[in-house]
Chains A and B, each alone.
Chain A
Amino acid sequence: MLKLFVPCDSVARAVGADQLADALSAEAQRRQVEVQIQRTSSRGLYWLEPLLEVETAEGRQGFGPVAAEDVAGLFEALTAAPAEHPLALGLVEQIPYLSSQQRLLFARAGITRPLSLDDYRNHGGFEGLAKAALLEQAEVVAAVLDSGLRGRGGAAFPAGIKWRTVRDAPAVQKYVVCNADEGDSGTFADRMLMEGDPFLLIEGMIIAGLAVGASKGYIYVRSEYPDAVHALNEAVLLAREAGYLDTTGSGVAFDLEVRVGAGAYICGEETALLESLEGKRGIVRAKPPLPALEGLFGQPTLVHNVLTLASVPIIMAKGAQFYRDFGMGRSLGTLPFQLAGNVRYGGLVERAFGLTLRELVEGYGGGTASGRPLKAAQVGGPLGAWVPPSQFDTPLDYEAFAALGAMIGHGGVVVADDTLNMANMARFALQFCAEESCGKCTPCRIGSTRGMEVVDRLIASSDPAYRADQANLLHDLCDTMQYGSLCAMGGMTSYPVASALKHFPADFGLASPEAAQ
């Protein structure tokens, strides 16, 4: 019997994976060949999607990207000489893009079926929970502290300190909240993990609940990810039936609920997210009080990004030392980088911190998809800086990027070629901020709109002196937004704007970098 694997990931489906699976079973029926088609998660090698894998004695052979029309010819090859087919990729795990990665969080990506508890357990699932359940709360918190894990949502705050704060806060009811509102454009690791390995997130949340003494968890997912919502809801039901939720064996009850956002970018900010979970407008709260002390419904709440929580089972299963052996400086562990935009080989690259942006964009990404010269890469989502190729040798490390006036954020990298106008992108960043600002603080609410007007005037003018004036005004406004806003939305909208102005003054009609200062 022929055993085939086709991803059920939403983006693989967006480029034809469902049609491929249908064509495969129709063709098998026509030829009266017995086949089993398993719908797995995606490997994250998106330029090869839809990626078909075939089980062989040596391992899984890959073919991609396979269109439904290729299926008839492919069947011929499968029985005769698979390696000679033009779409043949050899053994999938030996594809250099994949074999050179350090996959901890995405160890099961492309291998297991997302909603199979057996697949999950057979590939190391629930080992972390089993170990954590034997430890005291303080020991679990200490392991997270020792691992050096930092918040993966963008702020990179040490996770263990949050855990300790929530654990030490006296309260009858505490919560664990997963921020799965992955609104940052250019990022898709949370989506892949929730769609492809939902039990890993659930396991991480159960461990977190045990460690900080929370009995209830919420996963707040953006509405733009319906497949992730579906996978999580199903996985929660399965985990509950299997006894992983409600009772964990150590006498602490923990249950989970999936909540769906409603299209507001600001709800990715943790306090706005808590407001939204409480059924209110997503308006940012002033801090303090910290959510760790007064969070959801006023109770101590551990709020973490998907990848932060999903790292915990690995830390518990393999030990804090194993985890902190990856990475550099104070950026420890691995980060699933996401290569997107105008890049030849877009996809997910999980590597320890410390590789350079050049290795990522040129090595893995293979340069631009258009074949035109590389102009810049925006690192860290819509609030991240545009980094010019002259800075591409910077190691991907939180502190090294902060020193550039940039950020790693959630690890998204959007590549642009020389046709992308950076003045337009700066204007877009301000326009996006104006549309998505919650309106609570003035620099963000008003500054974003005034910023668009300044960029418009700057671009429209042909008077060099006036342009220089407007550029100064824009710098001034960026400062006000950066230092005067209540949260990162207004505070970091200045990053893409100021970096575009600094590195690409010609796009604004400015003569030289000096003129832009």
Chain B
Amino acid sequence: MPDETLDLPVIQRVLDHHRETPGALLPILHAIQAGVGYIPDAAVPDIAHALNLSQAEVRGVITFYHDFRTAPPARHILRLCRAESCKSRGAETLAAQLREQLGLDDHGTSADGAVSLRPVYCLGACACSPALELDGQVHARLTPERLSALVSGCLQEVKPC
């Protein structure tokens, strides 16, 4: 686990910025995650204090929403769409291919921290199914070959020292 106290200045800046925002908790959590990469546990008491909430309320919100992470993410996040439209164009076969190529389950993270898999239910690319999102970029009209190339791209990258 990284030293979370290093992130406290970022967190404080976010809290100062949103002090007057009504219903500020989601914007605050998004901003912290954008700055730090995840919501560090050390941020929870400060958020709770700033918004006059209990820590339990803040944790309740963090755990309710799929987007918020409480640990550092993998270097690449691959979200394959598993909703009806993509299923009707073979998304489940692609999901099986992913599991096999990476040796991970649908929510898995590779041991070297290269890739995390997450299912997603609709990216709005339904007219060009199947689709996935890799590090924020949507790729549609996927084929098994294209998926395989995208995954290899993630894995081949040299590990930063």
Interface of A with B (CB < 8 Å)? 10-11, 13-15, 44, 46-47, 49, 182-188, 191, 223-226, 259-265, 276-282, 297, 338-343, 346-348, 369, 378, 382, 412, 414-417, 420, 425, 428, 432, 436
Contacts and interface: CB of A to CB of B under 8 A. Distances in A.
B87 A428 contact: yes
A186 to B, nearest CB: 5
A188 B125 contact: yes
B150 to A, nearest CB: 12
A341 B66 contact: no
Contact of A259 (B27, B139, B140): B27
A186 B130 CA distance: 11
A516 B86 CA distance: 28
B127 A188 contact: yes
Contacts of A276: 26
25 contacts: A11-B124, A11-B125, A11-B128, A11-B140, A14-B137, A46-B127, A47-B127, A185-B86, A186-B122, A188-B124, A188-B125, A260-B30, A262-B66, A263-B65, A276-B26, A277-B26, A279-B23, A279-B61, A282-B64, A341-B126, A346-B126, A378-B84, A382-B83, A416-B88, A417-B88
A339 B127 contact: yes
Contacts of A347: 127
A183 B66 CA distance: 13
A14 B139 contact: yes
B87 A425 contact: yes
Nearest to A436: B121
Nearest to A280: B61
B85 interface: yes
A262 B85 contact: no
Nearest to A348: B127
Contacts of B89: 341-342, 369
Interface of B: 22-27, 29-30, 51, 57, 60-61, 64-68, 81, 83-89, 120-129, 131, 133, 136-141
Contact of B122 (A224, A280, A342, A369): A224
Contact of B141 (A15, A188, A263, A414): A15
9 nearest A-B residue pairs (beta carbon): A185-B83, A279-B25, A340-B126, A346-B127, A262-B65, A263-B66, A46-B127, A185-B122, A14-B138
B62 to A, nearest CB: 9
B120 to A, nearest CB: 7
A188 to B, nearest CB: 4
Contacts of B138: 10-11, 13-14
A185 B127 contact: no
Contact of A262 (B67, B83, B122, B128): B67
Task: Give the interface centre of A185, A260, A341, A425 by most chain B CB atoms within 10 Å.
Answer: A185
B67 to A, nearest CB: 4
Contacts of A348: 127
Contact of A10 (B22, B83, B84, B124): B124
A223 B120 CA distance: 11
B127 A262 contact: no
B140 A15 contact: yes
A440 B41 CA distance: 27
A187 B126 contact: yes
Nearest to B92: A424
Contact of B121 (A185, A260, A415, A417): A185
Contacts of B128: 11, 14-15, 46-47, 49, 346
B65 A185 contact: no
B124 to A, nearest CB: 4
B51 to A, nearest CB: 7
B22 A297 contact: yes
Task: Give the interface centre of B25, B26, B87, B122 by most chain A CB atoms within 10 Å.
Answer: B122
Nearest to B89: A342
A185 B83 CA distance: 6
B64 A341 contact: no
Contacts of A263: 65-67
